Amino acid sequence: MPRFAANLTMLFTEVPALDRPGLAAQAGFDGAEILFPYDQPVKDWEAALAGLPLALINTPPGDWASGDRGFAAVPGEEGRFRDSFLRAADVAGRLGARSIHIMAGVARGPQAEAVFTENLAWAAAQAPAQQLVLEPLNPDDWPGYFLNDFDQTGRILDDLALPTVGLQFDLWHAARIHGNPQAVWDRHRARVAHVQIAGFPGRNEPGGGGFDLTGLCSELDAAGYDGWIAAEYRPARATVHGLAWLQALKARSRLIGA
C-alpha cells in the first residue's frame, strides 16, 4: 500500500518547522519530507520527527537569494557540489532519509551535462546505500535550471545506468513542462523512485489536471513500489482543513490492498 509523506516545507506552515512533524502524524501522514533541513540542528529534527519516517531531503542549494539552486551541473563548482552533497548525505544518514534530491543548479549546454553526470557518479560512489533522485523543474518558475525536461532527465538516467539514481516524478512540474502529466508518467514510470503530487494548475490540494491519483496508487501498489508519494503543494487554507484528498486515497488504498 502506498505511503504518503507530508512536505513539511510547504505544509503545516501555520506553526514553526519543528512543530510540523507532530501535526503531520496526527493528520494521518505516514512520513515527511523536508526540502532543506539545514537551519535547525539535526538533533532537533530527530526529536521533532520522533520516529516519523523521513522520505526525502534536498542537497543544500547555496545562497538562494543570490540565485543559487544547487551546483551539481555547474561547471567550476564541483568542489561546492561535493561539499554540499557530503553534508546532505550526513544529514540523511542521521535522520534516516530514504532519498536525497540532487539539485542541479543554473547551467546549460554539453559541458554542464558532463559535469552533472560526473558529479552524480561520484555522489553515488560516496553513498552507495543512499537513494539519489533527479527532478526536472519547470523553466517558468525555475529559469535557467539545468534539468527542465523529463525526457532529458530520462536520457541522463539511462546513460548513467546507476541503480541508486532514479527519477523524482513531480506531477505538478510534469504538467507545467509537458502539458500532459499522464503521458509523462507513462513514458517514465519505470525510472521513478519518488513521487510528489499537487493540484493543477494552482499547486493547491492534490486533484485535477487530468491525472488519476487513485489509478496512480493502484498502479504503484501492483508494481510493489516501496517509495513514497509526497504531498508538495500550497494549501488553499489551513493544512488540516484541506486533507480530504489524503483520507480518500488512503481509504481507497486500503480497499485495494484488502
Give the type of residue at 151: D
Please report which helix (H) or strand (E) contains residue 230, including its range: strand 228-231
Q: Are 103 and 69 in contact (CB under 8 A)?
A: yes
**232 classed as catalytic:** yes
**205 classed as catalytic:** no
Task: Point out the catalytic residue in the list 77, 113, 135, 205.
Answer: 135
What span, in angstroms and rounded, lies between the C-alpha atoms of 248 and 245? 5
What span, in angstroms and rounded, lies between the C-alpha atoms of 252 and 136? 29
If you write DSSP's letter for every residue of 200-225 in order, what string do you get? TTT--SS--TT--HHHHHHHHHHTT-
Region of 237 please: left (phi>0), alpha (psi -120 to 50) or beta. beta
Backbone angles phi, psi at 100, to 5 degrees: -120, 120
Task: Point out the catalytic residue in the list 77, 113, 205, 232.
Answer: 232
For the CA atoms of the chain, what is the radius of gyration?
17
Active site residues: 135, 232
